[in-house]
Amino acid sequence: MSDAFVARSLEEVRFWSRIMKEHSLFLKLGFRCEDTQLINEANQFYAIFEAIENRANAFTMGTDPHVIKKFNEEVHNAVSYIWAFKRKVLGLILRCQLPGANNFPLLVDHVSREANYFRNRLSELNKGTLEPLPDAIIDENVFFLRIMADHAKFISHLLDPSERKLVEQANHFSQEFDQLLFQAKDLESMRPQSQTVPLLDQFLDQNRVSVKSLRDFKKTARDLIEACKIKSIIHPLLADHVFREAEHFLIIIDMFENSLTGKPVQVRFDH
């Protein structure tokens, strides 16, 4: 175990524990006031992930890797519980047992996929078994392109229908990312023959262009929502949350690009 293990672990846990904490809040806001048991469960998860986030922020690069490994196991356990909670809520919604609640089934499935992703990252870090680069490039892009396509759909459906121009833009992003996801799936089924440096490089370049433009759209939406300049039922924190997830995907794309081409890591000033 090395410095890289501590650095990667802290980065992942700091980013995703905040995300899990916010999911608890969004789920809570979508429950009906009589669903007090579900609201209590969501509040408990909020407190658990807030505590994990604080602990992750208190660790430093000098922390003993064994302490971090133990911490990752604890976080993995908490993430398993929130994943099960999200799947339980999805089951209730799909069986029409929460009529009138305001969480879309796709949103609940989406946040459970993010929990599952976080859980896998923690297992990989602790086992020290990273996927080979060409597989990681395809798998991570398949995962995140679907996440981005979902975000565009959530934005489109949570904007007020009278915001016709913005709804149209969100729908356009939804189609664009569905198409990119299919292209990624095509590359996936063509592997290992598709895993050449030029094809993977072009794949990353093409995805980066679209993610940057979606990231900018989300930033604009977030600023407009915060300033109360547009009509929607999007919580300002949800707007910021999906913006941060796009930023995170861009960092991953750049990291892959650098590993693939051996380019030096660039400091990004474009946001």
Binding site for Fe ion (CB under 5 A): 19, 114, 245
In the complex, least distance from residue 170 CB atom to Fe ion, rounded to whole angstroms = 15
CB of 201 to Fe ion, least distance (A): 26
**Which residue, 114 or 247, is less far from Fe ion as judged by CB?**
114
Residue 144 or 256: which CB sits closer to Fe ion? 144
Q: Quick one: 35 or 245, whose CB is closer to Fe ion?
A: 245
140 or 245: whose CB is closer to Fe ion?
Answer: 245
**Rg, C-alpha atoms of the chain:** 19
Q: How far is the CB of 24 from Fe ion (least distance, A)?
A: 11
Give CA 116 to chain center in angstroms: 10
Q: Which helix (H) or strand (E) holds 265?
A: none
Contact of 218 with 239, CB cutoff 8 Å: yes
Terminal Cα distance for the chain, rounded = 34
Q: How far is the CB of 107 from Fe ion (least distance, A)?
A: 9
Longest dimension (CA), the chain: 56
**Whether the Cβ atoms of residue 123 and residue 189 lie closer than 8 Å to each other:** no
The CB-of-110 to Fe ion minimum distance in angstroms stands at 6
Q: Given the complex with Fe ion, which of 35 and 114 has the nearer CB atom?
A: 114
19 vs 200, which CB is nearer to Fe ion? 19
Helices (H), the chain: 3-30, 36-58, 65-94, 105-127, 133-158, 164-189, 197-226, 236-261
Q: State the sign of the Cα–Cα–Cα–Cα dihedral 55, 147, 76, 92.
A: positive
CA distances (Å), origin 122, targets 50, 71, 169? 18, 10, 36
* Per-residue tokens: 75: 């976080």
In the complex, least distance from residue 166 CB atom to Fe ion, rounded to whole angstroms: 19
